[in-house]
Amino acid sequence: MKGIHMSDILCRPFSCRRGNLTIRGHVFRKNTGVLPTIIICHGFMANQRSVWHYAKLAASIGFAAFTFDFCGGCVIGKSDGRQSEMSVLTEVEDLKAVIGYIKTRDDTDSSRISLMGCSQGGVVCALTAAQIPDEIERLILFYPAFCIPDDARRGKMMFARFDPDNIPPVVKPFPNEAWGCLRKRCNKYEYIRRNHRL
């Protein structure tokens, strides 16, 4: 980025717990001392690496920027948890656990916590901020997936189709063969183009 020296940004791992699950992430910062905090949440099936560019930019302007993988919320992620046990509501609890962890650190200003989220991460940030409004200074949402409740009521979420009056215990967003493609890091867009009509 022009005018910003990303080589000055420090990136360090962190971890915290939600119940018996470990949440793993990274904190990006340029300055020492007590800094305002921004927590940046990834979208559905993405992982924290997809928002690192936002974290580096936030760190370059003086924030302690935290990213993490939702428990069970990634195809390839570092946090504990299974995808079949993940929901928007468990992701809200993950985010609250990260907020609680940040409040224990002596290098962050717990009165200045901002949330930033992309897609489903945006929905999670909005729900969390609504539950604890006095603890959140700013809310920044990029293309928040506020369509999730309506899609669920229609029985159509991403590529998954189901009877909304008889929801199965596990709803897979892709057919089984697509999961293999995603785990092998193949071109998922090519897979979708060949196998699904939108």
CB neighbour list of residue 144: distance below 8 Å, 6 or more residues apart: 117, 119, 122, 123, 125, 126
Q: Are 142 and 122 in contact (CB under 8 A)?
A: yes
The pLDDT confidence band at residue 180, using thresholds 50, 70 and 90, is: low
Portion of the chain with pLDDT greater than 70, in percent: 83
Name which of 107-111, 141-145, 162-166, 179-183 the model is least confident about.
179-183
- pLDDT score at 83: 84
- Lowest mean per-residue pLDDT among 21-30, 51-60, 127-136, 161-170: 161-170
Of the candidates 146, 153, 121, 147, the residue with the CA atom closest to the CA atom of residue 38: 121
Residue 62's nearest CA partner among 45, 88, 91, 37 is 37
Segment among 2-6, 9-13, 24-28, 70-74 with least mean pLDDT: 2-6
Collapsing DSSP to helix, strand or coil, 65 comes out as strand
Residue 45 predicted with pLDDT over 50:
yes
pLDDT at 32: 84
pLDDT higher than 70, residue 151: yes
Annotate 105-143 with DSSP letters as a single string. -TTEEEEEEEEEEETHHHHHHHHHHHHSGGG-SEEEEES
> Which residue type does 157 have?
M
- Where helices occur in 1-135 by DSSP H, the ranges are 52-60, 88-104, 120-131
User: Residue 20: pLDDT above 80?
Assistant: yes
At 180, which helix (H) or strand (E)?
helix 176-183
| Gap between the Cα atoms of 114 and 118, Å rounded | 14
Average pLDDT over residues 175-193: 55
pLDDT band at 1 (very low <50, low <70, confident <90, very high): very low
Residue 198: what pLDDT?
42
Tokens at residue 177, please? 């063969």
Mean pLDDT of 114-131: 97
pLDDT at 3: 47
pLDDT at 71 over 90: yes
Length of the chain: 198
